Amino acid sequence: MLPLSPSTESSSSLDTKDAESAKTFGSPESLSPVEAARDCDSHLPFEIPGAVVLSAPSISTLRQTANDVYHQINSDTSYSNQFIIVLNLSRQVQELIGGDRNPLEVPYRLTLDTQHQQGVIRIMPSKAHERVTRSFSNKLVLKLFEMGIDSDDYTMNSASRYCGNSCEKEADESLTPLGNPSEDNDWPSLVIETGLSESEAQLRIDAHWWFSNSGYQVNMVILFHIQRSPERRVTLKLYHLRPTTPRIMRGLQAEVEHSLLSDHTTPQTVSSTALRPHLAAKEITITSRSVKNAPLELEFESVMRRPPAPNTNERNIIFTAEDLATCCRYALPIA
């Protein structure tokens, strides 16, 4: 077994990773080395405290490390690192971990920078964590169905990969409305990410990635932070871009960077009021005994990229306290 420390370095039968993860949207633009480094700077080793770092690993070494991280997360609640940073990735290993099969044999999400031959692998802690995301997504689909929204009007993208300015990234789940076929807009409107509470800083950086790399076409990012000790709880954070115009895009970019990247290692209390003129946030805490600050309201137009149709059941999407408790029950002890 490899030692699970930030300094770990190294000089297949494949299960299906996820049928949807074979999808890759967009294409990286040609960037200067400085721009590309800045785009992926948040994913370099010093930005993820405690991450395991490998250099030029073989796929077998990477598989062993991923299994070690996965099993330690699930056997020791004091161990909270989900991340493996891989440097000097060979083309063969890049193709394997970025393909639609699972060479690591544990669930993971990938951020891949092919230009600099590096990547960040986020190990999904357990099926309970995946079920939180899946349960929330299923309820979202049901609520849209009850409004009369056909499943042909949008796609749920699971672990599909999206190409940013220089990095490719997978979300845990995302929703993309299907608008005018002539419009070239493959970016989702809503992204969902789930991780351990100790990974909050990195998840906030991920939220910034989705907003900025999509050109602010992503309207909402929902983060589920799962705390395992001393008390099990789930903290849901919604980041929502308010409608804007090209004239204030530069100001919007500054606001998103300040709110998601400034002092992101310090726990903050986020209210339902605006953090900035064009970025709103809401925080909800779910335990086995209570749900604080419910309900969660998702603006219909931000999700579907169109206003609700008149004289229909279309409206903002509401998740009640009961809905959220049901979604998070897999990650909480029985009350």
For residue 231, which amino acid is it?
Answer: E
At a CB cut-off of 8 Å and minimum separation 6, what does 117 contact?
A: 87, 88, 89, 90, 94
What CA–CA distance (Å, rounded) separates 282 from 284? 7
Decide the pairing of beta strands 233-241 and 220-227.
Answer: antiparallel
Do 37 and 175 contact (CB within 8 A), yes or no? no
Predicted confidence band of residue 255 (pLDDT cuts 50, 70, 90): low
pLDDT at 273: 33
For residue 21, which amino acid is it?
Answer: S
Please, is 30 exposed, middle or buried when counting C-beta atoms within 10 Å of its C-beta (0-12, 13-18, 19+)?
exposed
Do 17 and 49 contact (CB within 8 A), yes or no? no
- Say what the pTM is: 0.76
pLDDT at 202: 82
pLDDT at 253: 58
Give the percent of the chain with pLDDT over 90: 45
**Position with higher pLDDT, 43 vs 233:** 233
pLDDT in tens, 284-305: 999 999 999 999 999 999 999 9
Whether the predicted pLDDT of 242 surpasses 60? yes
Alpha carbon distances (Å) from 17 to 79, 218, 265: 25, 25, 31
pLDDT at 152: 92
Predicted confidence band of residue 86 (pLDDT cuts 50, 70, 90): very high
In this structure, the number of other CB atoms found within 10 A of the CB of residue 183 comes to 9
Q: At what angle do helices 249-261 and 200-213 cross, to 10 degrees?
A: 170
**Residue range(s) occupied by CATH 3.90.1570 in the chain:** 127-331
Token digits of residue 173: 């789940």
**Position with higher pLDDT, 16 vs 239:** 239
Give me the mean pLDDT over the 40-45 stretch. 44
Look over the chain and give the mean of its residue pLDDT values, rounded to a whole number: 79
Pick the CATH number of 127-331 from 3.40.50, 3.30.70, 1.10.10, 3.90.1570: 3.90.1570
Give me the mean pLDDT over the 227-243 stretch. 86
Give the percent of the chain with pLDDT over 70: 72
Decide the pairing of beta strands 101-102 and 15-16.
Answer: antiparallel
Radius of gyration (C-alpha) of the chain in whole angstroms: 19
**Position with higher pLDDT, 199 vs 222:** 222
User: Taking the alpha carbons of 185, 186, 188, 193 in that order, is the dihedral positive or negative?
Assistant: negative
Alpha carbon distances (Å) from 211 to 29, 215, 220: 16, 7, 8
